[in-house]
Amino acid sequence: MKVAILAGEHCMVSGVYGMLDVFSAANYCQNKRYGTGKREAIDCRIVTIDDKPVTGFNGIDIKPTATLASMAVPDVIIVTASVQVVVDCCGDDIELAHKAEIKQWLQSCRAAGTLIASSCTGSFLLASTGMLAGKTATTHWRSAELFRRVFPFIRLDCEQILVDNGGVICAGGSTSYMDLSLYLVEKLLDKDTASDCAKLMVFDPVRQKQSPYGSFKAQKSHEDQAILTAQEWLERHYKQDISMDALAEQVGLGSRTFKRRFKLATGENPITYLQRIRVELAKGKLEKTTDSINKIIWSVGYEDISSFRQLFKRFTGLTPKDYRQKFANVH
């Protein structure tokens, strides 16, 4: 099975060589489990669109281990992440070296039956080829706003680490190459080999959610002054028992108009915006203090402990206790 890892300028070097290591480990594990040479191995090669080395984000040169001509049509192509995603002036594509040639090659291989996958911000390139039209994508959570702006008609689900559309796979997050590699090992070889590989490399099994790693970033790059005033008021008075109708009146808007304009400006309704503020503050206290979980919940404006625990899990994918165990930096 031929796998091509497409390396581009400014890509994450670890994402390229890390996947190469995973597939090599998978071949080793398969040989140990079933016997050397008993099953077809993964033949993984690094390629570049012009067969020349590229410079990764950390300044290290990545040399291709095969030419595109020698690879023929791979069974799988993995598009690696570009750390510097820059939007074209037209606003509906991305800028990168050899963009037209890369898109043509990917489209040609996909038409021939190649499975196309991306890690992290590699989904921007897949989206620009049209392969994600009518499908669901994921990308790094910090790039979600940019992705939605550039590709407004593609459904983006950044809670997910992996999205398999059947023939086109996206993985989100800087280290999602690990999840993607293990997923492909299971898909190309088998589940037992993928499990053996994860244990050998001390990787977690394929993670489901990206949401525990995300941070809520308030959308304030809009020109609705009334809504901006409301946002800032919520951020200062989050502990209070807040009436959204009263807040609407305070900023000079009717209730329905306030809710409509708030959603349009921020992407969230006012209640969800307040909930996200409270959850984000609770996350910080879980990470940085030894306060009891109940005390933290009360401190961000909730009296109903059970209700907040459910809310916290909905936004982060973890309970407050599990979140603290995973991310706390105090003991």
- Report the C-alpha gap between 100 and 236 in whole angstroms: 48
| CA end-to-end span of the chain | 47
Spatial neighbors of 235 by CB under 8 A, at least 6 apart, are 218, 277
Whole-Å CA distances, 68 to 3, 44, 234, 311: 12, 13, 55, 49
Q: What is the pLDDT of residue 47?
A: 96
Confirm if 167 and 116 have CB atoms less than 8 A apart: yes
Q: What is the pLDDT of residue 26?
A: 96
Q: What is the pLDDT of residue 86?
A: 43
- pTM score, whole prediction: 0.68
Q: What is the pLDDT of residue 88?
A: 43
Domains, the chain, with CATH or none? 2-212 (3.40.50.880), 225-327 (1.10.10.60)
Helix 191-200 and helix 176-188: axis angle, to 10°?
Answer: 140
Helix 13-34 and helix 191-200: axis angle, to 10°?
Answer: 120
The residue type of 309 is R
Whole-Å CA distances, 174 to 68, 109, 112, 260, 275: 26, 25, 29, 35, 27
Q: What is the pLDDT of residue 87?
A: 41
Largest Cα–Cα distance of the chain, in whole Å?
74
pLDDT in tens, the chain (331 residues): 999 999 988 888 999 999 999 999 999 999 999 999 999 999 999 999 999 999 998 899 999 999 988 888 999 999 998 756 544 434 555 677 778 899 999 999 999 999 999 998 899 999 989 999 989 999 888 888 888 888 888 999 887 888 999 999 999 877 888 999 999 999 999 989 998 998 899 887 666 666 555 567 777 878 899 999 999 999 999 999 999 999 999 999 999 999 999 999 888 899 999 998 999 899 889 988 999 999 999 999 998 999 999 999 888 888 999 889 887 865 4
Q: What is the pLDDT of residue 90?
A: 44
Spatial neighbors of 41 by CB under 8 A, at least 6 apart, are 1, 27, 30, 31
- Name which of 124, 125, 106, 108 is nearest 116 in CA terms: 106
DSSP-assigned states of every residue in 230-267: HHHHHHHSTTS---HHHHHHHTT--HHHHHHHHHHHHS
* Coil, strand or helix at 132: coil
